[in-house]
């Protein structure tokens, strides 16, 4: 069993993405923003790995990790829209899965038959997160690649929305 400090590291790594998001907003150089994306991606992989490796997975960590992921991604996407590196349609493709997931969560809490459904990370969601980060990198480092990535991200996001919807439906009671 891991000590208390070691058990806290995964949650601290997750929470660090909130600070990285703030840094992304105030950064004024693409290189700095690329560095922040890289660090955010590393902390995302590392927090889950450490939580599993040292048996430090917690309910709090399961909550804060996806919130930190979404907060970083949505902050970065909004920042890039604001500074003109993303178009409005690209912005909506980048956030569509997150909007649908948020609506699904609210519906699941409002509909009694869906309240017992659990929300867990799924491979389609992880794929969308990876593609979102890749799109952020493309927008900053090589914008022509973004045009090719957006349709793929749209398709995987639609698949993820369907996958989460089906999982929610299968998890209903009754």
What pLDDT, on the 0 to 100 scale, is given for residue 174?
A: 55
What pLDDT, on the 0 to 100 scale, is given for residue 2?
A: 58
What pLDDT, on the 0 to 100 scale, is given for residue 158?
A: 97
Q: Are 116 and 171 in contact (CB under 8 A)?
A: yes
pLDDT tens over the chain, length 174 residues: 457 777 788 889 999 999 999 999 999 999 999 999 999 999 998 988 888 888 877 777 777 888 899 999 999 999 999 999 999 999 999 999 999 988 888 887 788 877 777 767 789 998 999 999 999 999 999 999 999 999 999 999 999 999 988 888 887 765
What pLDDT, on the 0 to 100 scale, is given for residue 149?
A: 97
Q: Are 71 and 21 in contact (CB under 8 A)?
A: yes
What pLDDT, on the 0 to 100 scale, is given for residue 37?
A: 96
What pLDDT, on the 0 to 100 scale, is given for residue 110?
A: 84
Instruction: Report the alpha-carbon distance of residue 63 to residue 10 in Å, rounded.
Output: 12
What pLDDT, on the 0 to 100 scale, is given for residue 87?
A: 97
Instruction: Report the alpha-carbon distance of residue 128 to residue 98 in Å, rounded.
Output: 10
Q: Are 90 and 146 in contact (CB under 8 A)?
A: yes
What pLDDT, on the 0 to 100 scale, is given for residue 91?
A: 98
What pLDDT, on the 0 to 100 scale, is given for residue 67?
A: 87
Both tokens of 86, joined, read 């993303």
């Amino acid at each position: 069993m891991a000590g208390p400090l070691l058990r806290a590291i995964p949650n601290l790594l997750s929470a660090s993405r909130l600070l990285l998001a703030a840094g992304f907003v105030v950064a004024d150089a693409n290189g700095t923003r690329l560095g922040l994306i890289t660090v955010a991606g590393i902390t995302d992989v590392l927090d889950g790995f450490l939580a599993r490796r040292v048996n430090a997975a917690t309910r709090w960590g399961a909550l804060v990790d996806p919130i930190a992921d979404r907060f970083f991604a949505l902050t970065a996407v909004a920042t890039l829209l604001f500074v003109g590196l993303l178009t409005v349609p690209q912005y909506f493709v980048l956030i569509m899965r997150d909007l649908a997931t948020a609506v699904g969560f609210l519906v699941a809490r409002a509909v009694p038959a869906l309240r017992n459904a659990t929300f867990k990370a799924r491979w389609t969601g992880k794929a969308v997160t990876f593609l979102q980060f890749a799109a952020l990198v493309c927008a900053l480092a090589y914008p022509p690649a973004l045009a090719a990535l957006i349709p793929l991200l749209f398709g995987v996001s639609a698949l993820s929305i369907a996958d989460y919807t089906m999982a929610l439906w299968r998890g209903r009671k009754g």
